[in-house]
Structure 1
Amino acid sequence: MCRVVDLRQAVLAKNDVAAQVLRTELTARGTTVVNLLSSPGSGKTALLERELLLGRERGVAVAALTADLATENDAVRLARSGVPVKQVLTDGLCHLEAAMLGRHLDGWLPADTRLLFVENVGNLVCPAGYDLGESLRVVLASVTEGEDKPLKYPTAFGLAQLVVVTKTDIARAVEFDEAAFRANVEQVNPGVEVVLTSARAGEGLGVLLDRALAAGEGTGTHTPVMARRHTHGHGHTHGHGDTHDHDHDHEHEHEHEHGEDHVHDEDRDHPHVHPVAQTR
């Protein structure tokens, strides 16, 4: 057990170094990374498609990279916005890592990209501990998932710099208790902004884009209490909790249970990459 935890900590430390390098490089070229985390089926792709289209309409150079275990379905949907989109298939890996992201951006990401939205693998456990060099970390939850979601996944919600509630057009039908959800978010991440959205009805549309632009300018970005207090070169405070929830520990125990240490070999090009659209 101690060996597994030590390995996890070493992997996270290595990832933090790679994330800092990537953040510095992208910041120097004027690109802001937004890391989107959620459970499967949260409506993340539907909302992102609307935000990408809005960004294009506003003349903001936006792009998206989406990661899944299988299929190119999300990339095909996002490509309808007309912005550059790339699909990464992780072959079973339940999260993206900074070095992986950097490799897949190399030679693909347009030089003038102002905002890069990274749609992480649908999972609130594995991706929570991995910094991708982002300037804004967003956690999304739909009204159908239950008001106690933040308490069940305290690392994911505790490290968020913005929390987005999706599918609010059906909130009344599923008896979503907004006050209870907000109270639970506040318990694990005091002061973080909670935004209500509906991709179908258009509620809250553009808020994610606005917050991403503000993060790129270094203004108004929430610093989670759980985050380690270390400041990166461009003045953005980011980090991961000193402790991780038990679900996260268990996930890593499972990954290494059969000696599958190849899932963290950042030199092995195991994910398949598919550029789906590069239309400006």
Structure 2
Amino acid sequence: MEITIQKKVLEVNETMADKNRNYFREKGVFVLNMMSSPGSGKTETLCKTLKRIMPETRTGVIVGDICTRNDADRLEATGAAVVQINTDQFGGDCHLAAHLIDKAAREMTLDSLDLLIVENIGNLVCPAEFDIGENVKVVVLSVTEGEDKPLKYPLMFQVADAAILNKIDLLPYLDVDADLAVNNMKTVHPMMPVFKLSAKTEEGFDQWIEWLNGQIQAWKK
């Protein structure tokens, strides 16, 4: 019975995700779904990304968290249009479903945007299962989480179109093998590009921004 219920939930979500995809295409907005565990540095990575691509790329952000709008406030300070989703009213859901994205997106003026970023709720499990109508999924893994996370949570890395290995500025102070972390990502998703960077120092950001801009331009053609 539990399997049947889960299947039905995912089927309903897929239908809504397809509607979202059509809506975003109609509005000419490219959608990036950014996922990670809590504390990966995802928000800071997005803040530095927005600093580099705006205002040329007009960007809005939907921020998902169970409680608070701490991350939304930081992202709003970049000048991006921001809508907050808190899931505590839904029982503290650990992911953003397609119907929530639909509601949040319709609160934004998508006609004035080129890029919509969804900062998903911090979790390496549930967000990987829910299509929200995005164009690309990106997962952020920090070096402080250890090299084995791609092997322990393979689905997240299998569905991602690209991965970021963040906080490389901390490598001199940690007993962590960054190359092994990348190899583990490649084990579960061999063709996935992986960007080693530091959201603090912005080392490695050029390659990440080049990839993101390339994805947006390729989609527009």
Question: How high is the TM-score relative to the length of structure 2?
Answer: 0.93
Give the SS at the match of 1:102: helix
Give the SS at the match of 1:150: helix
Give the SS at the match of 1:217: helix
CA distance in 2, matches of 1:206, 1:9: 41
Contact 2:29 2:110 in 1 (8 A): no
Counterpart for residue 159 of structure 1: 159
Give the SS at the match of 1:65: strand
Question: How high is the TM-score relative to the length of structure 1?
Answer: 0.74
Q: Check if 1:101 corresponds to 2:101.
A: yes
Counterpart for residue 147 of structure 1: 147
Which ranges of 4 or more aligned residues in structure 1 deviate by more than 6 Å? none
Q: Check if 1:64 corresponds to 2:85.
A: no
CA distance in 2, matches of 1:210, 1:18: 31
Contact 1:54 1:206 in 2 (8 A): no
Identity among equivalent positions (%) equals 36
Give the SS at the match of 1:215: helix
CA distance in 2, matches of 1:184, 1:6: 33
Counterpart for residue 29 of structure 1: 27
Letter in 2 for 1:139: V
Give the CA deviation at 1:126: 1.1
Give the CA deviation at 1:51: 0.7
Give the SS at the match of 2:172: coil
Give the CA deviation at 1:153: 0.4
Counterpart for residue 16 of structure 1: 14
CA distance in 2, matches of 1:4, 1:114: 40
Give the CA deviation at 1:93: 1.0
Counterpart for residue 182 of structure 1: 182
Q: Deviations over 1:2-30 (max 9, x none)?
A: x1111111111211111111111111221
Structure 2: give runs of 5+ residues left out of the alignment: none
Contact 1:45 1:74 in 2 (8 A): yes
Q: Check if 1:77 corresponds to 2:74.
A: yes
Give the SS at the match of 2:182: helix
* Structure of greater Rg: 1
Counterpart for residue 43 of structure 2: 45
Q: Deviations over 1:192-231 (max 9, x none)?
A: 0010111111112254443333323346xxxxxxxxxxxx
Q: Deviations over 1:154-177 (max 9, x none)?
A: 111111100101111001211321
Q: 1:24 to 1:168 in 2, by over 3 A?
A: same
Give the SS at the match of 1:86: strand
Structure 1: give runs of 5+ residues left out of the alignment: 220-233, 236-280
Q: 1:90 aligns with which of 87, 92, 95?
A: 87
RMSD: 1.7
CA distance in 2, matches of 1:209, 1:118: 17
CA distance in 1, matches of 2:217, 2:12: 27
Counterpart for residue 4 of structure 1: 2
Structure in which a larger fraction of residues adopt helix: 2
Contact 2:72 2:83 in 1 (8 A): yes
